[in-house]
Amino acid sequence: MSCEKKWIFVLLFVMALMMFSFCWYNMRSITWHPSLVFHCNSQPTINYVNTSSQFDLLKQDFLHRMLYEKPNALSPPRSDVLMMTPWFAPIVWNGTYNIDILNTQFHQKNVSIGITVFAIKKYTVFIKTFIETAEKFFMVGHKVNYYIFTDRVGDIPNITLGEGRQLVILEVPSYKRWQEVSMRRMEMIRDHARQRFVNEVDYLVCVDVDMMFSDDVGVEILSHSFGTLHPSFYAASRTRFTYERRQQSTAYIPTDEGDFYYAGGNFGGTVEEVYKLTNFCHNAMMTDKGNNIEAIWHDESYLNKYFLYHKPTKILSPEYLWPTNFGAPAFLKRRRFAAIPKNHNAIRNKRALRDYSRNKQKFHR
Ligand code: 5GW
Ligand code: MN
């Protein structure tokens, strides 16, 4: 090869190299645009723009600017208590949530809350304090219906309520045995849930009446379904839980099962979930009744059985059910819903007193 030709080849090679590097450099910054894509086979085109979807009606909720301390992934707000169950249900303790965020969210959904309470026979004496303290502390700023189940309509006092709050008196039969009075709550809540509550409220909160609100109880408690840690057993071992232990009962829970011991005096959820819960408990009770057995702690035992296999989506700490005479351990920053010490002699009949203290002595509660 002559010297001249050799140089031409070298020149061509250098030029090709330059062109290649130029192209490569420029390609890097190309942002791909659909027009750059070549379609190999033509699919029939679907006009997505004109087809309607249920999503077209979606309303976009959003929060306004809010100022609050940033959550810190490495420093939990509480390290002295369990804040989450193994099935990722939050346990509601003071300091773990921001009520302003929650209130804004629940106001946007325009939620209404029904609170069911039973005042059968002499228990009507508790109604006044219950409602008056609820007006101060229960779901303030939200729509609330009080559903009072009673056999003594005339004994329910007239109480002026705040805006968006109303009192509904539901006349129901009373039962002779006190156990039945307590247990039949499940049936009555169930029946009214499907007939009435479902048309009137979004959530139900089902509580004892021998109680008073002494601090805020708000939308932080609301969830699909929720139960409350019993103030006598929040730290107890499984074997100490007073679940029903007789295998013949539908409420039976063996000693190697169970997450928490839930209190019969405060549970709730959406109307649909409370329907399912109360329906289960009532049917289980009826099955047991047919077999001549009644669970040790009545409705509470059936509630605990339900929550074992239908895990609640939120759990309330004992802040939400604390007996006034229990004192205040360090972890209990607030006492929101307090059990009033009862003058048992005045409020219960002799037989009830005897049955009750027998059980209480047996289980130290
Ligand atoms: C009466 C005697 C013994 C036990 C319960 C009652 C009773 C309960 C009653 O005569 N009337 C009545 O309305 N109840 C309802 O059942 C109340 O809503 C009460 O809060 C609930 C549970 O009974 P408590 O509160 O006496 O049960 P503990 O376990 O909270 O003491
Ligand atoms: Mn009670």
pLDDT of residue 1: 55
- Please name which ligand lies nearest the alpha carbon of 356: 1
Q: Residues 205-236: pLDDT tens digits?
A: 999 999 999 999 999 999 999 999 999 999 99
Q: For domain 109-360, give the CATH number.
A: 3.90.550.10
Q: Give yes or no for residue 30 having a pLDDT over 50.
A: no
Ligand 2 centroid to residue 209 C-alpha, Å: 6
| % of the chain beyond a pLDDT of 90 | 76
- Rounded to an integer, the average pLDDT of 329-348 is 88
Q: Given the CA of residue 124, which atom of ligand 1 is nearest to it?
A: 13
Q: Residues 104-157: pLDDT tens digits?
A: 999 999 999 999 999 999 999 999 999 999 999 999 999 999 999 999 999 999
Helix (H) or strand (E) holding 350: helix 350-363
Q: Residues 152-194: pLDDT tens digits?
A: 999 999 999 999 999 999 999 999 999 999 999 999 999 999 9
Ligand 2 centroid to residue 263 C-alpha, Å: 10
Pocket test of ligand 1: the residue of 174, 210, 344 to mutate, having most ligand atoms within 8 Å of its CB, is 210
Does residue 118's CB lie within 6 angstroms of at least one atom of ligand 1?
yes
Please provide the size of the chain in residues: 365
How wide is the angle at C-alpha 45 spanned by C-alphas 42 and 51, nearest 5°? 165
What are the φ and ψ backbone dihedral angles of 134, each rounded to 5 degrees? Answer: -65, -35
Does residue 300's CB lie within 6 angstroms of at least one atom of ligand 1?
no
Q: Residues 285-317: pLDDT tens digits?
A: 999 999 999 999 999 999 999 999 999 999 999
pTM for the model: 0.85
Task: Tell me the β-bridge partners of 150.
Answer: 119, 171
pLDDT of residue 13: 84
| Residue 100 amino acid letter | D
How many Å apart are CA 248 and CA 316, to the nearest integer? Answer: 30
How many Å apart are CA 225 and CA 244, to the nearest integer? Answer: 22
Higher pLDDT, 140 or 360: 140
Pocket test of ligand 1: the residue of 182, 261, 360 to mutate, having most ligand atoms within 8 Å of its CB, is 182
How wide is the angle at C-alpha 208 spanned by C-alphas 271 and 217, nearest 5°? 70
Q: Given the CA of residue 211, which atom of ligand 1 is nearest to it?
A: 20
Write the burial class of residue 197 (CB in 10 Å: 0-12 exposed, 13-18 middle, 19+ buried): buried
Q: Give yes or no for residue 36 having a pLDDT over 50.
A: no
Q: Give yes or no for residue 59 having a pLDDT over 60.
A: yes
- Rounded to an integer, the average pLDDT of 335-354 is 77
Mean pLDDT of the chain: 91
Q: Give yes or no for residue 62 having a pLDDT over 90.
A: no
Sorting pLDDT into bands at 50, 70 and 90, what band is 349?
low
Q: Give yes or no for residue 198 having a pLDDT over 90.
A: yes
pLDDT of residue 50: 74
CA distances in angstroms from 136 to 7, 35, 91, 130, 218, listed in the order given: 97, 64, 24, 10, 11
